[in-house]
Amino acid sequence: MSVADGVVPGADDPADAPGGPSPSLNGRAGKRDLRLEPLAGKVGLVVSGEIDIRNRPVWQSALDRLAGAGRQVHLELAGLRMIDAGGVGVLLTAASRLDADGGIVLYDPPRALCRILGVLWPDAVGIEVRER
């Protein structure tokens, strides 16, 4: 198979090929999808799937809307399998836009997210981690 066939050799998902579908708010079906659902009763989202360079604009847009909607944003991350450093950077940028009394509350974030925060942004403000 070739790129002309819509498949990049070594890619897990044909949709990852150049010209494949781009992620939407709810991502696309497949192993590497990103799903963003409203969080009941709070300003926030239930996030599942993966966040990386391919869907970072969707992630950024969703966080930008939430940061403009309230003092505190809640993110349920138990279903988040992977987030890259760029995705964590977007999260910190959104947190910096919220009121001093607000911030972003992360529920059950993956360990990798906490490691990225600890290594790259050890003094980050506006992020609170909680477990349910």
pLDDT at 87 over 70: yes
Residue ranges covered by each domain of the chain? 22-130
One CATH from 3.20.20.60, 3.40.50.300, 3.30.930.10, 3.30.750.24 for 22-130: 3.30.750.24
Query: Can you tell me the distance from the alpha carbon of 85 to that of 70, in angstroms, rounded to the nearest whole number?
Result: 25
**Mean pLDDT of the chain, nearest integer:** 79
The one-letter code for the residue type at 70 is: G
Q: At what angle do helices 111-120 and 85-96 cross, to 10 degrees?
A: 70
Which pTM does this prediction carry? Answer: 0.76
**How does pLDDT run across 93-130, given as a tens digit for each residue?**
999 989 777 899 999 999 999 999 999 999 998 999 99
Distance separating alpha carbons of residues 17 and 43, to the nearest angstrom = 35
Assess contact for 91 and 62: CB atoms under 8 A: no
Q: What is the DSSP letter of 5?
A: G
**How high is the pLDDT of residue 7?**
21
Written as one letter, the residue type at 32 is R
Amino acid letter, residue 103? G
Helices marked H in 49-132: 56-67, 85-96, 111-120
pLDDT-derived band of residue 71, with 50, 70 and 90 as boundaries?
Answer: confident
